Amino acid sequence: MTLLTELKDKTANRVRPMAIAMASMLLLSILAPNSSGGANDGVLNFNKTPLVRRQPTITTFDGPGAGTGPGQGTIAFAINPAGTISGRYADSAGAIHAILRFANGSIISFDAPGAGTGNRQGTRPFSINPVGASAGYYSDANNVFHGFLRTPVGLITTFNIPGAGSGPGEGTFAGNINPVGAIAGRYVDATDVAHGFLRARDGAITTFDAPNAGTGPGQGTFVFTGFCLNPAGAIAATSVDASNVSHGILRAADGTMTTFDVPGAGTGPFQGTFTIAINTNGAITGWYVDGANVNHGFVRSSGGTITTFDVPGAGTGPFEGTSGQGINASAMVTGEYVDAGDVNHGFVRAADGTVTTFDVPGAGTGSFQGTIPLSNNPMGAITGYYIDANDVTHGFLRTL
């Protein structure tokens, strides 16, 4: 998302942000004559049978009531193994409403109790687990943020982390839920400093701060929303230090924290390493911003080995480049790259480094328009959104 669409939603500051399409190979069910021209002996000989690569299918969708003006429309955030997508739409007044899109294409919408109805207020469900429970946050009429959990049957529980601020832009930012129902996120206190948290299934809350986290406004420990909590309870976080430089953080299930920086990451304000997703095996993806403010993708293995990558066609100017957004169990990474014209395009990167790029039909080709993938499930299905030529957003699903 361009440092996660969640950041665009909350701050209106647009910060820029490959699971290869492991296409199934189909053998043609034909009996080819042998080279001598004689009759086939009844045995299927696959030695010279052509292989056909299944082409990905892209489906676009809009939430019911989605607005059609600039900055309005639909954004899909996450997809679970069953193909259920969590997302949101902005209506014609700019208010935000949550949606769930099921594998059969049906869509329902919902609002958390207490969600505001003004411009940029409302409900955002960032994460969804295998059984269909979703987690996210909502902003109220005073622009204060609160966490919520929605069960598969539609029961919504709201919560606030102790110590969360109650002023505009402060509060609880939930948005990562794992298979056992634990929720991770961050809260922003009354001095605008961010802190990490983990909420257990029974509601017990643990808060934490990275060792190098700054204590000034806009600094601290950030657990971004969507894919930063894995089934084992490990959390991928980002710390912003006292110089406003970002660093990667891995918080193990036992609470142990490891800090890391991607080689080549810049050391100036708003540069550094940004961790965006962690998979079931503990591999992390995201991006780093170099000294020239260009984005580059990375994968950090569960053992700590870091591999960096740039998608062919990615721009090399400030706020252009490559951003990893989601990583599935096979270490396939999906995300976006921004070209030299500031247009967004989608990519998938296989574990072997092979890259496939794609654009959703209907995506705009102007600056800050285009295709922005956000997550991929174990089957390689990808969801996200695209921005059309009128700057309206629409959800998409790319399947193999």
> Exposure string (b/e) for 217-243, b if CB count within 10 Å is 16 or more?
eebbbbbbbbbbbbbebbbbbbbbbee
- 66 contacts 97 by C-beta, under 8 angstroms: no
Q: How many CA atoms lie within 13 A of 154 on its CB side?
A: 5
Which tokens belong to 385? 């959104």
Per-residue pLDDT of the chain (400 residues; tens, 9 = 90+): 334 344 444 333 333 333 323 233 222 222 222 333 333 323 333 344 455 567 899 999 999 999 999 999 999 999 999 999 999 999 999 999 999 999 999 999 999 999 999 999 999 999 999 999 999 999 999 999 999 999 999 999 999 999 999 999 999 999 999 999 999 999 999 999 999 999 999 999 999 999 999 999 999 999 999 999 999 999 999 999 999 999 999 999 999 999 999 999 999 999 999 999 999 999 999 999 999 999 999 999 999 999 999 999 999 999 999 999 999 999 999 999 999 999 999 999 999 999 999 999 999 999 999 999 999 999 999 999 999 999 999 999 999 9
pLDDT number for residue 54: 74
Torsion of CA 135, 141, 142, 145, to 10 degrees: 0
- 332 contacts 22 by C-beta, under 8 angstroms: yes
pLDDT number for residue 321: 98
At residue 4, φ and ψ (nearest 5 deg) are 70, 130
What's at 38, amino acid-wise?
A: G
Identify the three-state secondary structure at position 367. Answer: coil
pLDDT number for residue 189: 98
- Euclidean distance between CA atoms 56 and 379, whole angstroms: 12
Does the structural domain 4-17+59-399 have CATH classification 3.30.70.20?
Answer: no
Give bridge partners of residue 185 from the DSSP assignment. Answer: 174, 197
pLDDT number for residue 25: 26
Neighbours of 267 (CB within 10 A): 12
- Euclidean distance between CA atoms 23 and 102, whole angstroms: 23
Q: How many CA atoms lie within 13 A of 280 on its CB side?
A: 12
- Euclidean distance between CA atoms 347 and 20, whole angstroms: 8
Query: In angstroms, what CA-CA distances link 184 with 205, 228, 386?
Result: 10, 8, 27
